[in-house]
Structure 1
Amino acid sequence: MAKKFVVVDLETTGNSPKKGDRIIQIAAVVIEGGKISDTYTSLLNPLQPIPPFISELTGLSDDDVSEAPLFSEIAPKISSLLKDAYFVAHNVLFDLGFLQEELILCGEESFAGPVLDTVEMARFLKPSADSYKLADLAAGEGLSHDRPHQADSDATVTAELFLLFLDKLKKLPEKTLGQLALLSEGLKSDIHLLLHSIGSIKVTDRGTLPDSIVYVNGLAIKKQERQMGDKTSTEASLEYPWSDSDKQKFFSQSPYRLVKREGQFEMMDEVFHSFQNGTHALIEAGTGIGKSLGYLFPAVYFSRLHAVRVIISTYTIQLQEQLLAKEIPLLSGMVPFSFKSAMLKGKNNYISLSRFAKSLEEENDNYDIVLAKMQILIWLLDTDHGDRDELNLSSGGQLYWNTIRNEKGILREQDPWHEHDFYNKARKKADEADILITNHSLLLSDVESGGNVLPAYSFAILDEGHHFEKASAGHLGIRLDYLSIRLALNQFGLYEQRQLFYKTVSALSQFQNGKKMQIQHINDLFADTLYDLDEFFKISIAYASKAAKKNSSKKLKAVIYRHEHNREWQALNNASERLIFRLRDLSGIVQSMYDKAIVLPGRSSATLGTELAAYKEELEGLRAKFTGVFTSGDEFVKWVETDLRVPQNATEIFAMPVTVSETLSKKFFSLKKSVVLTSATLTVNQSFSYMIEALGLEPRYVNTISIPSPFNYKDNVKLFISSDVPEINSVSQDSYIAEVSARIISICEAAKGRLLVLFTSHDMLKKTFELVKESGLLPEYALIAQGITGGSRSRLTRNFQKYDKAVLFGTNSFWEGVDIPGEGLSCLIVVRLPFSSPDEPLTKAKCEQIEKNGGRPFSEYSLPEAVLRFKQGFGRLIRTDEDRGVIVIFDKRIGASSYGKVFLQSIPEIPIKKADIEELVNEIEKWL
């Protein structure tokens, strides 16, 4: 092991030394004996102008480097520093590539020693980090980094981070370190040399295992605390506090200094009243009411008074986790009794320790899989829950997770992993909970199974309730996508691929007689199955292309009609039948293998049996889905969705129920004593009728209440309708986008950024973003766009909040769930009213069904859906009682059409004004 590490950071004129970009600043931090021993930094003259963007990023100008040395003058010093050292950098290939090019240009020898990438190290040593950017990692470790994108500051912080990583590696259990060392041969930098070196020291100086870690069947995992039950006896004097003054006492006594919010106590009483009377309820709770405590407080009181479990279900896992981590502790500090709470997700969210341990024995040089295995080894030393959502996995890592996730459910007591299984523990806590927090997807799985997934319950609260109908349709529907199916099938593999098939043959002595013939037969069957899968999706793409031939878009959706008799439909139907037969035959082979495996002696046979059973379940599930798509009746709409740029990998088949109201009525609402749905958007034009009908509820048996937001919208929000944006149908799309882009630029300058622009079409978003960017008229602004700028919705939102001047372009999910309080967001632009495209398969099917029943599709479906979405978009602007802002709507229909007033009457009363762009800009400048 080299005793010296040199951490290097460069600032450059661009990204490519091959294209002539040069270094403008270099910094090197030398680490010896586990501490920083030397530093070196220098500005460099690149002999070319520094681009404006680089100057803005680094703070370095042409004047700063005009008198600086050339790289050739400092090259000997750099070579001397790097001699016999590890080269360390954050994204090492970038810095090393530049340095090598410069060294060669001035006649010095290129660096030939080992390299370490702190990004790669961070990815496996910090498996739960949201981001692996240097600034974010530094902030997470509490390291000072006040001058990002300056080489000396970046190099120092990288060195400090590297020292922390070294320390963490040295403290790892010996077994984990050895497993990491073997896997790290598949990484891009030379981390394996470092790990083997630390491992050899570890062997000669064996430390005791930390008290917090335990070895289980060859895996080092965090020792789980034994669950001590809370007191659950119900106090005899316990009563629900109906009066505001009694509730206020609990708020005042709370150690969290809680403040009563207007409307919150009213919500509490409505929830308790509905539970007590055994009625369903819809509660629309405006932003700022404190909805979570508004339902948790009465729920826990009712649970304890009547010794019943209350289920809390959310649409997003993010809210599910927030309730447990933030709201439940607040509640515990308020109420005068103890209670048990738990969170439960679907079994696939939890790791199967046995499958993971088995996967470590399998050789695989796929980079994403190697990295994911290393991440999980570190994560198991820290996780209490074994929950996938704690991990920051790459897309390849997510696919690998599917091979190690829990498929079996609850393990038997004799299973060697039983005591440490994460799903077992989660389910046990759920069974004991007074308040059980879950998500709509798992709740709907329970509904579909007849109550076999969740512990029994009769009372439920559905937060984000406006999503429940859509979540139900998605859950009761079918989705087939090529990549997931191919990955699932590949777990079996050809014999020579050494996957499940090979392992089974090796374990079963019964295969020895006639082994070659049987192996060849199964190999052929598996290869034919994969071939038929490929053919099915190729024919699906051809079907979509033919059906959508007039569509110029690269993304196609084509409805599958059961009664078609053309060639394309027949080919698709025949391909599905062939594949269904292959899956049946393969499932039979796997069943035969399973029957032989479970009678073999030894622990490994039980593990093999579990894998074979899980694979057979996967095959049967796929067979049922393919059968369902092509045999379901007119109550389902079926369609093919593909992207012609990457057709096979991006092709999906859907079958969705046109309505779910009858199913929900019979299988859910009629079987529960009381279900309360709550959201900020349940009404259309002050009426709950649309939501009640969509959910299959009986109006006379449902309590409804709308509790307005306590925020002063009238004085803090202004809405402008742009009077001079042309009608979209009166000009070409390019002309319309040009008009929209020009106005976004003008409004952005007036609002000083802090601008969210909402679209209904990603294609229009992309073209508008590109036009605004290429105009060069907003050089000081950070332009961030969904689907273009990399990252999830939450990551894009965080990036937007980092800049004083920024514009965020969003569609779909950005209409809701984006929370940017204060001055971070002061202007919202709605480009088009959020109507669903009439060509969307589900929208089209719903409208056709309404029309068939003698109804009016626009007023009964299209308009209410658009209004609910518009209300969600409106809610992005004001998130606290001190926020101020403006909303600008480019779509004239909101002021000119007969239905436009429905949108305006569905939001709080605020000043509304029509204005051209000049007046609009003046008003915004004055208002903000």
Structure 2
Amino acid sequence: MTRYAIVDLEATDTSSSENHERKIIQIGIVIMEDDKVLETFSSEVNPHQPLTENIIRLTGLRDRQLKKAPEFAKLIPKIKKLLKDCVFVAHNVIFDWGLLSKNFEEFEEYLEMPRVDTVELARIFFPTFEKYGLEFLKQKLGLKNDHLHSALSDASETAELLLKIQNEIQKLPKSVLLEIKKHAQCLTYETNLIIDKFVARAEVRQENFEFYKYFGILKQKKELLETKISKEFSENVKALGMRKRRVQDKIAEIVNANLMEKEAVFIEAQTGSGKTIAYVIPILAKGRRLVISTATKVLQDQLLHDLGPKMKESFGIQTTKLMASSNYISLDQFDLYLSDIMASTNTEIFKMKVLVWLTQTQTGELSEISKNLTNPDMFERISNFGNDNSNIDFWKIANERAKNADVLVLNHAYMIELLKKKSKLFYGRHLVIDEAQRLLTVLEASNQEHLEILDELLPLQLINSDENRIALEDFLFQLGKFPFSRKKIFMDAAELGLNRICDFLMNPDNIYWTTGNTLNSSQPDFNNFKKLIPEDQKVIFVSASIAFSNDKVLLPELLGFSVYKFFKLQAKIAKNQRIYAISDGPSVKNTSVQDYSNYVFKNLIKLAELNRPIVVLFSSRQMLNWTARQFEKSEIKVGVQQHGSQANNELLKNQFDTGKFQVLLATGAFWEGVDFEKQKNVILVIPRLPFATPEDVLTRKFSEKFKNPFYDFNLPMAAMQLRQAMGRVNRKMSQRSCVVILDRRIMGNSYAKRLRRNLEELTTIETGAFEVLLPQIKDFLR
């Protein structure tokens, strides 16, 4: 029988990294033997120093309380007796053990006992959790205790957490536990003892698992479902337990009336109108299968985890997702990764986490694994790049599932890739492209090629000669021009012997440009989307923004459709969202980026005083960086989007959702693909109208396509982007949001009037000086 002492301490200063500067102010201990609580102990401690405001807020303790509490020296005999012959357990054991032992040493008393960290164990045995703080685990696992919030309450919750961790360990096959044991030596102190304890008694466990080497893989569920769906749209909506909306009826009518027509159908319907159900159900009711392509993870999750299960239960409909192979684990690559030695603690925890996750996953999708204390390289090392030779290939399993599914969900990029490969997954299926406005940028991205310049220049930099140095400097100078001369760069590259750069610049018709140290190339024409789809493929495009005005339907033409049907459902004016257009800002044209950033910063400071979360969407990385620098001197907590992967964006979004900072400064993907549905009230700030710059590749491509590229392309695209941004912060009726446009160009005549008219289809626009509108913003968010 193992006896555990689960300990939690409250201290005078949680911000200090030095335990000797801290004093214990409260201690809670739970003594547990296997799964039974034998004894509890709790006491406040007099630290003989005043508490900071932060500690008072965190603990609820007061100086006057602690003055009456016993000194730590008087508690030592009791604590020593409780801890005798126990394993010391804490949630973040380095803190609690370090603080307790330091306080003991001050009185020449010493603690020696095994120590276990439940944070590290939770990271391993709950591999899909976003976070591992005790408060999050309490909510996620339903940890309960009979004590008010205190050190004892946290100790009790940690004790229950330890039992749940042990329960998870006992579910694992012996081969998996033995492999975990090999990597557990890296864990803090003696945390591996918990794992060792269960290895000896572990069962082989064959019934629920398939095995590849020592990996235990959860057996795939195979289900045969009978499809039963009514031909009546209203009956099907009722069967799903939902209320039918008028706009859904209209969309369903449009879909039904055009299913057998050859022309592509474009439907514009407001975000939050329930359009997904309105196109999915009518197609399924006709006995047809469909592919749905989306741009954002939010809609994919809605289809797979909300609507999908309901359709399965009500109608016997199977919904699945398919992604590129690199999104799935390769067991071969993971096997190689496990054999790496001299890895960091976080890397070894990641390996153990994946071993546990493999016993739980049905999909093998790497996105299921927690990103907590990981980096993109860890995931890349175990990704499937189409060369997995194991007997369990999750990507092949996903493809088989996709072939048989009634509803197949793809993202835009992978849909384009499959269409280019003439995949049979589209045969006999209707294709619905939701969030269709995002297709343009995804098409363009698929059309581009990139070359890292520094990689090509590295050999030249090793040649030490004046002639070489001068030629290299001239080459880099020419590359820095906009637009640069392809012919001149080509000749300079040839002279320097940069053969790969010459090959890259070979096509004189392509558009070339640089971003940082990357040379980019794009074909002069779009990949015509119409030409990508099979001739007999029925395709429906759905979006919240397709047309700039009643007489300007832009998207179909840009995608290559000259013959199509367009339906615009009248948007309902949002009462829970309002636009505030600032009239007294500086001229964008005549103000430097630095000065304009100062203007943005000063107004953000004033908005932050309203104590509401603020999302700031920049159209310029340079302005974002200048504004972020200003906040370095401020006490306001700010999150700044960095150049990086989608995983970094998700982490930033999660931190904002949980209130780690009040202001989020972002650009790029946050305009179109990140929804802020968790905030009750939110302020969206647009520093500058999102007009494309002359160097933007899409602008360059369309400069010759339209008579007036600004009015016919740039202005509609800016309106589309603004509408998308507004939709990001208006996800439900109970949410209230203010959209603050700091760019005074919105107040002008001519194009600005057309832009305002477009946005007024969605909500009311209030105009005026910032100081006049600030109280109105405050009142609206009450």
Bucket of the pairwise TM-score, normalised by the shorter protein:
0.7 to 0.9
| 1:665 corresponds to which of 530, 551, 556 | 530
User: Structure 2 unaligned runs (5+)?
Assistant: 464-469
In 2, the alpha carbon distance for the partners of 1:379 and 1:672 equals 42
Alignment counterpart, residue 831 of structure 1, candidates 687, 691, 712: 687
**Out of 349, 361, 365, which is 1:383 matched to?**
361
What is the letter of the counterpart of residue 526 of structure 2? Answer: V
Matches within 5 A, 1:266-415: 266-302=250-286, 304=287, 309-332=289-312, 338-361=316-339, 363=341, 365-393=343-371, 398-408=376-386
**CA offsets, 1:507-534, max 9 Å, x none?**
xxxxxxxxxxxxxxxxxxxxxxxx9896
Aligned letter for 1:441? A
Label 1:439 to 1:734 Cα distance change in 2 as closer, same or farther (>3 A): closer
Tell me the equivalent position of 2:772.
Answer: 919
Relative to 1, partners in 2 of residues 1:922 and 1:427: Cα closer, same or farther, differing over 3 Å? closer
Alignment RMSD (CA, Å): 4.1
Tell me the SS of whatever aligns to 1:172: coil
**Following the alignment from structure 1 to structure 2, what is the Cα–Cα distance between the partners of residues 629 and 881?**
51
The CA deviation at 1:731 is: 5.4
Correspondences of 1:66-465 after superposition (within 5 Å): 66-75=67-76, 77-109=78-110, 111-144=111-144, 150-202=150-202, 207=203, 209=205, 211-225=207-221, 227-231=222-226, 246-252=232-238, 254=239, 256-302=240-286, 304=287, 309-332=289-312, 338-361=316-339, 363=341, 365-393=343-371, 398-408=376-386, 417-418=390-391, 420-451=392-423, 454=425, 456-457=427-428, 459-465=430-436
For residue 488 of structure 2, the aligned residue among 559, 564, 569 is 564
Match of 1:512 in 2: none
Letter in 2 for 1:721: A
Report the alpha carbon displacement of residue 54 of structure 1 after superposing the two structures with TM. 3.6
Aligned 8 A contact 1:725 1:740 in 2: no
- Deviation for aligned residue 1:280: 0.8
What amino acid sits opposite 2:434 in the alignment?
D
Distance 1:654 1:635, change over 3 A: closer
- Please give the secondary structure, in 1, of the residue aligned with 2:7: strand
CA distance change for structure 1 residues 63 and 536 in 2, over 3 Å: closer, same or farther?
Answer: farther
CA shift, 1:25, in A, is 3.4
User: Contact conserved, 2:615 with 2:683, CA < 8 A, in 1?
Assistant: yes
State the match for 2:618 in structure 1. Answer: 759
| Residues 854 and 183 of structure 1: CA distance in aligned 2, closer, same or farther (over 3 Å) | same
Cα distance, 1:536 vs structure 2: 8.8
Aligned to 1:704: 566
Of 461, 470, 478, 2:441 maps to 470
Partner in structure 1 of residue 581 of structure 2: 721
In structure 2, what is the Cα distance between the partners aligned to 1:371 and 1:557? Answer: 48
Corresponding residue for residue 906 of structure 1:
758
Q: Does 1:744 align with 2:604?
A: yes
Q: CA deviation at 1:865?
A: 2.5
Q: What is the CA deviation profile of residues 272-302 of structure 1, one whole-angstrom value per residue up to 9, with x for unaligned ones? A: 3333102112211102210210211122134
2-structure distance, mates of 1:570, 1:292: 54
Q: By how many angstroms is 1:783 displaced?
A: 5.3
Structure 1 residues 355, 279: closer, same or farther in 2, change over 3 A?
same
Deviations 1:645-691 (A, max 9, x none): xxxxxxx55444454243x23233x6343211112122223455332
Instruction: Please tell me whether the aligned partners of residues 327 and 367 of structure 2 are also in contact (alpha carbons under 8 angstroms).
Output: yes
Contact 1:24 1:46 in 2 (8 A): yes
Offset of 1:118 from its aligned partner?
Answer: 1.8
CA distance in 1, matches of 2:172, 2:270: 49
Inter-partner Cα distance in structure 1 for 2:568 and 2:663: 33
Q: Is residue 641 of structure 1 aligned with residue 509 of structure 2?
A: no
CA gap of 1:654–1:80, structure 2 versus 1, over 3 A, is: farther
Structure 2 distance, partners of 1:688, 1:333, is 43
Cα distance change, pair 853–804 in 1 and its aligned pair in 2 (3 A): closer
Q: Percent identity?
A: 26
- The superposition leaves residues 22-62 of structure 1 with CA deviations (integer Å, 9 ceiling, x where unpaired) of 44433333333333333333334444443333433333444
Offset at residue 90 of structure 1 (A): 2.3
In the alignment, residue 289 of structure 1 is paired with which amino acid? S
The 1:473/1:112 distance shift into structure 2, 3 A limit, reads farther
The structural deviation recorded for 1:188 is 4.0
The offset of 1:120, in angstroms, is: 1.5
Going from structure 1 to structure 2, the CA distance change for 1:426 and 1:566 (only over 3 Å counts) comes to closer
Verify: 1:690 aligned to 2:554, yes or no: yes
Give the letter aligned to residue 660 of structure 1. Answer: F
- What 5-or-longer segments of structure 1 have no aligned partner? 241-245, 484-530, 578-625, 643-651
In structure 2, C-alpha distance between the alignment counterparts of 1:576 and 1:41, rounded to whole Å = 73
Measure, in 2, the Cα distance between the counterparts of 1:174 and 1:543.
Answer: 64
SS at match of 1:39: strand
The structural deviation recorded for 1:71 is 4.3
Q: CA deviation at 1:775?
A: 4.5
C-alpha deviation, 1:99, in angstroms: 3.7
Asked whether the 8 Å contact 2:475–2:493 carries over to 1, the reply is: no
Q: Which amino acid aligns with 2:412?
A: H
Distance 1:775 1:880 in 2: 32
Give the corresponding residue for 2:467.
Answer: none
1:493-512 to 2 correspondence within 5 Å? none
Q: Which amino acid aligns with 1:702?
A: Y
Distance 2:300 2:522 in 1: 26
For the 8 Å contact 2:256–2:282, the answer to whether it is kept is: yes
Q: C-alpha offsets along residues 473-497 of structure 1, whole Å, 9 cap, x if unaligned?
A: 22232356799xxxxxxxxxxxxxx
1:64-89 alpha-carbon deviations (Å, 9 max, x no partner): 43444454554555455444443332
Q: In structure 2, the residue corresponding to 1:564 is in which secondary structure? A: helix
Offset of residue 882 of structure 1: 4.9
Instruction: Tell me the distance in 2 between the aligned counterparts of 1:544 and 1:197.
Output: 64
Partner of 1:40: 41
Q: Is the 8 A contact 2:312 2:318 kept in 1?
A: no
Query: C-alpha distance in 2, partners of 1:548/1:329?
Result: 56
Please give the per-residue CA displacement for 1:728-777, whole angstroms capped at 9, x wherever unaligned: 55556555444434433433445x5254433334554465466568555x
Equivalenced residues, count: 772
- 1:343–1:729 CA distance, 2 compared to 1 (3 A): closer
In 1, the alpha carbon distance for the partners of 2:117 and 2:491 equals: 55
Q: Distance in 1 between matches of 2:553 and 2:325?
A: 36
Aligned-pair CA distance for 1:784? 5.0
Distance 2:61 2:642 in 1: 31
CA gap of 1:90–1:732, structure 2 versus 1, over 3 A, is farther
